[in-house]
Amino acid sequence: MSKYDFFYLIKKIESYDFEYEPFKHIYIEDFFSKEHFKEIIRSSEIALPKAANDKELIDSLLENGFKQIPFPGCIEDVSEYINWHQRGKGAPRHTACEGFGMTFRLFKFSTLILRELNNFLLSKEFNQVIAKKFNIVYENCLVDGGIQKYLDGYEISPHPDVRKKAATFMVNINQSNESEKQNHHTHYLKLKKTHKYIQEFWEGNKNIDRSWLPWNWAKTIKQQKKNNSIVLFSPSNDTLHGIKADYDHLQFQRTQLYGNLWYKESSIDKVLEWEDLDLSRKATDRKLIANQKINRLLNIH
C-alpha cells in the first residue's frame, strides 16, 4: 500500500483546459501540493550538496542513484564531457546547436516519496489520463519516463519531436529558489514567416520525420520557468520547443520529472535534416511561395 496519494494530479490534468499559444498544450502551475513539492525538492537525491568541480558533481550523482542515459542533446562519456566543459565548450554534436550536455536519470531511490512518485508516473492510471486528454489510444503506446537532472551545455534546438512520440510532459522540480532566474528552461516557439513552409511540408508528408531546426528560424513565445509547473502536449508539426542550458550546475542542477508516450508502430521511411529543408540560401529561393518550396523539397534525393 502506498503512503503517498498522487491521484489528485490526475484530476488536475483532467480538469484543465488547453492553451493554444504557441501551440496546443496544457500548462499547470502548483502541480504538486505544497507539502508534496517541499518534500520532493528536499529529498537527498534532488537536493545534492554543492560541488567543487564537474567530477565531484558527477560522482555525487552516481552515488545518489543517478546514471547517465542516452538522450537528445547529450553524450554519455563522462571524461569527454568534463574535458569539453573545462575547455570552455564549443564543438557541438549537431549543426543546429552550439553545445551538448549530459542527462542523468534516477534509478536507485533512497527516499520513499521519490520511489512512489516514479512508480506513479509510469503507472497505467496516470498515462491513460494523458492519452485520453489528447485523444490517443493508450494500448497503441509504450510508456517511458523518470526523474532527470541535466548538466550545463545541454541543448536541443527548436524541434516539434519525432512522429513516433505520442505525448510528452515535463515538470520542473528544481531544488533552488533561484532556479526560475537561470538560463536552463524550455523554450516554446513558433516558426518565423520565412520558414513557415517547413510546417506545411511536414503536414503534407507524414512519411518524413520532423527534425531539429536552427534557433534563428523560430521565435520564442514563452518559457517554462515556474518551479512546480507542468507542460503536457501531443507532438505535432507546430509543437516547436527547445532548450539551451547555460548555468552553474555546481550550485544546483536543472531537474525535471519527464515522461513520454511512444507509438508502438511508425510509418516513417525518411528523415530530412534542417540543411535539406533550408531553401532560403539562394536568392531565387527567397522568391518562392510556400507551394513551390514544398515541391522543391519533394525533389530532394
Could you read off the pLDDT of 66-98 as tens digits, one per residue? 999 999 999 999 999 999 999 877 667 788 988
- Using CA atoms, how far apart are residues 52 and 179, in angstroms rounded to an integer? 19
Over residues 2-53, the pLDDT tens digits come to 899 999 999 999 999 999 999 999 999 999 999 999 999 999 999 999 999 9
- pLDDT score at 7: 96
Over residues 138-152, the pLDDT tens digits come to 999 999 999 999 999
Over residues 247-277, the pLDDT tens digits come to 999 999 999 999 999 999 988 889 899 999 9
CB atoms within 10 A of CB 35: 8
Cα–Cα nearest to 162, from 117, 129, 202: 202
- Using CA atoms, how far apart are residues 17 and 170, in angstroms rounded to an integer? 17
Cα–Cα nearest to 171, from 48, 41, 11: 41
- Using CA atoms, how far apart are residues 249 and 55, in angstroms rounded to an integer? 12
- Cβ-contact 104, 46 below 8 angstroms: no
Question: In this model, does residue 193 exceed pLDDT 80?
Answer: yes
- pLDDT score at 262: 98
Over residues 135-185, the pLDDT tens digits come to 999 999 999 999 999 999 999 999 999 999 999 999 999 999 899 999 999
Question: In this model, does residue 297 exceed pLDDT 70?
Answer: no
22 preceded by cis ω (within 30°)? yes
- pLDDT score at 94: 86
- pLDDT score at 119: 97
pLDDT band at 283; cut points 50, 70, 90: very low
CB atoms within 10 A of CB 226: 17
- pLDDT score at 301: 47
Q: 25-191+223-267 architecture in CATH? A: Sandwich (2.60)
- pLDDT score at 55: 97
Question: In this model, does residue 214 exceed pLDDT 70?
Answer: yes
- Using CA atoms, how far apart are residues 180 and 287, in angstroms rounded to an integer? 42
- pLDDT score at 92: 73
- pLDDT score at 287: 55
- Cβ-contact 156, 96 below 8 angstroms: no
- pLDDT score at 298: 66
Strand partners, 217: none
Burial profile 112-150: b = 16 or more Cβ within 10 angstroms, e = fewer: ebbbbbbebbeeeebbbbbbebbebebeebebebbbbbb
Cα–Cα nearest to 112, from 31, 4, 7: 4
